[in-house]
Structure 1
Amino acid sequence: MTPAPVADEFLLVFVHGFKGSAEHTFLSYPERLRHILVETYPQGTVTSLVYPTYETRGSLQDAVDGLLSWLTSEVAQRESSHRAHCVVALCGHSMGGLVCMDAALTLRKNTPPGQPMWPHVGGILAYDTPFLGVHPYVFKHQLSTYHGYVDAALKVGAVLAPIGGSLASMLMPARHRETPTSSRLSAASWVGLGTAAATAVGTAAVAALTQKDPMYEAYRWISEHASFVQHLWDERGMQCRLQDVEVPFHCFYTRLPGTPPRTFIVVPPASADYARHFTPLDTQSADEVTAHMHMFSLSTNSSYLPMGTASAALLAEWLPQAGRAPAFHASIPKAEPLD
């Protein structure tokens, strides 16, 4: 393959996840990461961009196409006006990480043999991205949070039954059903729908306070967004995505104390080839969803500072592969792989 031209500008592109936003998801983290790289990449320009808020409804491919269209325009404009070659690092939170990875996979697939990828993606940083699904206990714990609205949730389950035969039973209180005993990965096949249902429970809880009947709002919500998260229960497709990606990537995921530790995402088994691309971030948040949603907050994520330096260390490793080998400071700690 023809090597990519030397990079003159390094673009950090941040993509929010399901129901996130450009204004509120990442807070000041993009600028922090840019600042670290400015100190360690003096030879070139480092720019941090937050991809504009997009609708997390419809198909995931629609979101991927939207990102690629925006990225192509952004890179073309910069390379034309600055007469520089840009290398992009895609940084996605939650489902945004899936959008980033599928965008890179699409670019690689559409690149003619022997030609460099353009726009050139030098690496992917994912933050709490459910590459293998959302952990089943996230749904269980969220149901406990909404225990006061179980009756409304059960009504929602009845309405949503046509799109998932097991949905109604999943919405039942734990004491009325058996606990699944499937493995972490096999559980992922139903976790995606469970996650959507869990959020629907939250929607139902709010609607129960403001409307006479929460069913309509819950049904509207799930019908608009279910197709976007449907990949979370495509177990085979999720594993193939991790095996097929040729661009360097790494996923940082939140981990709460417990036996076993509690995580928002399904973590790959240590035997998987791609397990080394996943690094835990220990946090003391109240629950998995809180840790997931606020991982870019310095005041709530106790691993916020290590997350930034470890992310910068990975980017420092990937930058030479993009065409230039700058003298990075060795003091930035490297992310440790899973045991």
Structure 2
Amino acid sequence: MRKVLLLVFIHGFKGGDTTFGTFPDHITALVQHALPKLDIRFLVYPAFETRGALEECVSRFRDWLLEKVIDIEVQNHTPSPTVEPSVRAILVGHSMGGIVAADTLLALTNDLPIDTSAPADLKKPELNSFMFPYVQGVLAFDTPYLGISPGVVAHGAEEHYNTATNALTQLSGLTGAIWGTKAAADAEGSKDKKPLTALPAPPPSDAPIPMWQRWGKVAAIAGAGAAVVAAGGAAYLKREEITSGWSWATSHLEFVGCLMKGPELQKRVAGIVRLNKELHVGFGNLYTRLGKKAVSKGDGKTMVGSVIGNQRTFCNLPKKESKEFWHEAINDEAADEAWAHMSMFYPKDNPGFYAMSEDAKKLIVQWATNEWSESSTGDTKLLVEHEL
């Protein structure tokens, strides 16, 4: 019987069917060429609601995966799929999708029949090596298993700070048009300058103001008033959406809330590492690191450079334990961590796409080269299945 290696792609927070672009086709072809004895197929998990409890999302994904694997086992007429499956899966997750993949694997390997005769003080619970569906590995792409890097927030804050500073500078340039050229010069040359947080006070009432400047002042005030009225009207018309928005935000925060729980993050990684050591389940996280276009921002000359340094990544990296499972994927084109994170599967935005693909292929081939794959026989025709 020809065995099937199923690559299952899971998008992350607010992702969808287009998250991976053409990457599933690309990596499937690479792995098929490297493992001709296997039938390499792929599925893309349909778009799902990235809100609510993470456990519920994992449960839904697990049920979907079980259904898909059973369908293939039935097609293959596998005599005993739970003991000797013809299908093994590699769960490929981007961002939060990697956490869904990891939790699915942990759930599968912890599902054991209740043994009342077992001692209650076991140091570690037994692992289920006969999991079904059988997951051969978890390949994550930029999954924040240990949380999101402080640099993502720090550099983002710096950009907003610079934008605000530029806006205030431009705003001060309007002083002459509104209050008069002399007032602007006086404000600029004042010895006890105040921060540019608001327009300077108007000149004395007896100072002559040209007509065009008075009209400019009226126009500016009228424009600001219109903006406030418009915003207030929009808020009133959207009051129901604004009210329900709190529950919407809370529901989404519940899904990504696991990233704020340090002990749980550590426990998840430790669990996957244990599976790698004891059950030989593959595990890897290809994380993005900014390259040439953004490295200068971490040279210590910016407000965050001296703290964060030039290793700009979206994910926190392990210091010692589990470090071997993190693999660098450099993007020389991206200028910030968020964009590198979102564009990693698009060659035009990520010059390191093909190197990353090669690294991913090597990991999958390494994990799938075992007794199970060696026992695969039959037709070597490539079959690729893409589920939208």
TM-score (norm 2): 0.63
- Does residue 12 of structure 1 match 2:26? no
Secondary structure class of the residue paired with 1:250: strand
Give 3-state SS (helix, strand or coil) of 2:373's partner. Answer: coil
Indicate which of 325, 344, 354 corresponds to 1:295. 344
State how far apart, in whole Å, the 2-side matches of 1:115 and 1:143 are.
Answer: 46
Compared CA separation, residues 326 and 315, structure 1 to 2 (3 A): farther
2:210 matched to which residue of 1? Answer: none
RMSD, aligned α-carbons: 2.6
> Deviation at 1:321?
3.7
How far apart are residue 38 of structure 1 and its match? 1.2
CA deviations on 1:37-94 (whole Å, 9 max, x unpaired) are 1111111211011001110000111110011000000000110012251010000000
**Could you tell me which residue of structure 1 aligns to residue 111 of structure 2?**
110
Residues 236, 210 of structure 1: CA spacing in aligned structure 2 closer, same or farther, 3 A cutoff? Answer: farther
Counterpart of 1:37, as a letter, is V
**How many Å separate the matches in 2 of 1:210 and 1:67?**
42
CA distance, structure 2, for counterparts of residue 218 and residue 255 of structure 1: 34
Q: Matches of 2:233 and 2:3 in 1, distance apart?
A: 54
Match for residue 362 of structure 2? 313
Superposed, 1:183-262 pairs within 5 Å as: 211-212=234-235, 216=243, 219-245=246-272, 246=275, 247-256=281-290, 257=295, 258=298, 259-262=309-312
Deviations, residues 8-28 of structure 1 (Å, cap 9, x unaligned): 101000000000002x20000
113, 119, 126: which one aligns with 2:133: 119
2:324 is the counterpart of 1:276: yes
Residue equivalent to 2:315? 265
Using a 3 Å threshold, how does the CA distance of structure 1 residues 127 and 210 change in structure 2: closer, same or farther?
farther
Deviation of the 1:322 alpha carbon: 6.5
Mapped to 1, the partners of 2:375 and 2:318 lie a distance apart of: 33
TM-aligned CA distance change 1:275 to 1:234, over 3 Å: same
5+ residue gaps in structure 2?
Answer: 79-85, 114-126, 166-230, 276-280, 299-308, 377-388
Q: Which structure 2 residues correspond to residues 13-92 of structure 1 after superposition, within 5 A?
A: 13-22=8-17, 24-84=18-78, 85-92=86-93
CA shift in 2, pair 1:209/1:123, >3 Å: farther
For the Cα contact (< 8 Å) 1:15–1:97, is it kept in 2? yes
User: 1:221–1:315: structure 2 CA closer, same or farther, 3 Å change rule?
Assistant: same
Task: Supply the distance in 2 between the matched residues of 1:7 and 1:224 (Cα, whole angstroms).
Answer: 44
* Overall identity of the aligned pairs, in %: 32
Q: Which structure is richer in relative contact order (CA contacts within 8 A, separation 6 or more)?
A: 2
Kept in 2, the 8 Å contact 1:7–1:87? The answer is: no
Q: 1:120-166 CA deviation, whole Å, 9 max, x = no partner?
A: 0000100000000001121233334555689xxxxxxxxxxxxxxxx
Separation in structure 2 between the aligned mates of residue 14 and residue 38 of structure 1, nearest angstrom: 16
1:97 and 2:98 aligned: yes
**CA displacement, residues 287-317 of structure 1 (integer Å, 9 cap, x when unaligned):** 0000001100011112110111111111111
Aligned residues of 1:320 and 1:326 also touching (Cα < 8 A): no
Spell out, residue by residue over 1:246-286, the C-alpha distance to the aligned partner (whole angstroms, 9 max, x if none): 132100000013433101010111x22x1100011111201
Q: In the alignment, residue 5 of structure 2 is paired with which amino acid?
A: F
Compare CA radii of gyration and give the structure with the larger one: 2
Aligned to 1:166: none
CA distance, structure 1, for counterparts of residue 28 and residue 22 of structure 2:
10
For residues 275 and 209 of structure 1, the distance between their equivalents in structure 2, rounded to whole angstroms, comes to 52
CA contact (8 A) 1:319 1:325 kept: no
* Unaligned segments of structure 1, at least 5 residues: 1-5, 151-207, 328-339
- The total of aligned residue pairs comes to 262
1:142-181 equivalences in 2 (<5 Å): 142-146=156-160
How far apart in 1 are the matches of 2:128 and 2:139?
26
Aligned-pair distance for 1:223?
Answer: 1.2
Structure-2 change in CA distance of 1:311 and 1:14 (3 Å): same
Letter in 1 for 2:251: E
TM-score (norm 1): 0.71
Conservation of the 8 A alpha-carbon contact between 1:7 and 1:323: no
